[in-house]
C-alpha cells in the first residue's frame, strides 16, 4: 500500500519545519496511515525515538497532519508512533530500524533525495509493523513475577 502525501501537505510541512528531509516525510506518512486506519484524524500521538535531530524532525510531519500539538515525545530506540482517539482506539506504527539508521547516518546533502525516496516507498517498505488496538499499547506494563 502506498500512502500518498499531497504536494500541498508537503509544502505545509516544509513551511512549518524549514526544510525537506526523510524524517519529516516519515512523520507525514505515519500520520496519514494512522488517519486511514482510524477513519479520522488522530486526537493525540505518542512518539518514541531519540530526542535529537534528525529523529525528532518526525514530530513536525506528525504535527502537520494532526494540526495539533497533542504530541508526546518519549526517549526510545528507533522510531515508533502511537496515534490515538478519545474512544481508546489506537494505531501504532514502527519504522524499520534499518531505514531509521540509513536516514539518520546519511549525509545532509542527500536529505531531500532521501525524502523523495520515502515519498515513493510503499508502506510495507517503510514500516515493520502497523497495529490497531482498542487499548494503549505504548504504556509499559510491569513484568509479572514468576513463582
For range 1-10, the mean pLDDT: 96
Whole-angstrom distance, CA of residue 64 vs CA of residue 26: 12
7-30 pLDDT, tens per residue? 999 999 999 999 999 999 999 999
39-88 pLDDT, tens per residue? 999 999 999 999 999 999 999 999 999 999 999 999 999 999 999 999 99
Task: Provide the pLDDT confidence category of residue 134 given band limits of 50, 70 and 90.
Answer: low
- What pLDDT is stored for residue 138 in this prediction? 47
Q: Which residue has the higher pLDDT, 142 or 18?
A: 18
Residue extents of the structural domains in the chain:
7-133
Largest CA distance in the chain: 57
Site of grid cell 507525514: 28
How many CB atoms lie under 10 A from the CB of residue 66? 20
- What pLDDT is stored for residue 24 in this prediction? 98
Task: Assess contact for 63 and 16: CB atoms under 8 A.
Answer: yes
- What pLDDT is stored for residue 129 in this prediction? 82
CATH of domain 7-133: 3.30.1330.130
Whether residue 142 is predicted with pLDDT greater than 50 in this model: the reply is no
Amino acid at each position: 500500500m502506498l500512502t500518498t502525501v499531497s504536494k500541498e501537505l508537503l509544502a505545509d510541512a516544509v513551511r512549518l519545519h524549514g526544510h525537506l528531509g526523510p524524517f519529516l516525510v516519515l512523520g507525514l506518512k505515519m500520520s496519514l496511515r494512522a488517519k486511514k486506519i482510524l477513519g479520522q484524524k488522530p486526537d493525540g500521538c505518542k512518539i518514541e525515538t531519540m530526542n535529537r535531530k534528525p529523529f525528532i524532525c518526525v514530530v513536525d510531519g506528525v504535527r502537520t497532519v494532526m494540526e495539533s500539538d497533542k504530541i508526546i515525545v518519549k526517549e526510545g530506540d528507533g522510531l515508533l508512533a502511537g496515534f490515538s482517539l478519545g474512544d481508546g482506539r489506537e494505531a501504532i506504527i514502527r519504522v524499520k530500524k534499518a531505514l531509521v539508521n540509513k536516514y539518520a547516518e546519511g549525509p545532509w546533502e542527500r536529505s531531500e533525495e532521501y525524502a523523495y525516496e520515502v515519498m515513493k516507498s510503499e508502506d510495507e517498505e517503510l514500516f515493520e509493523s502497523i497495529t490497531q488496538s482498542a487499548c494503549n499499547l505504548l504504556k509499559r506494563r510491569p513484568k509479572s513475577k514468576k513463582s
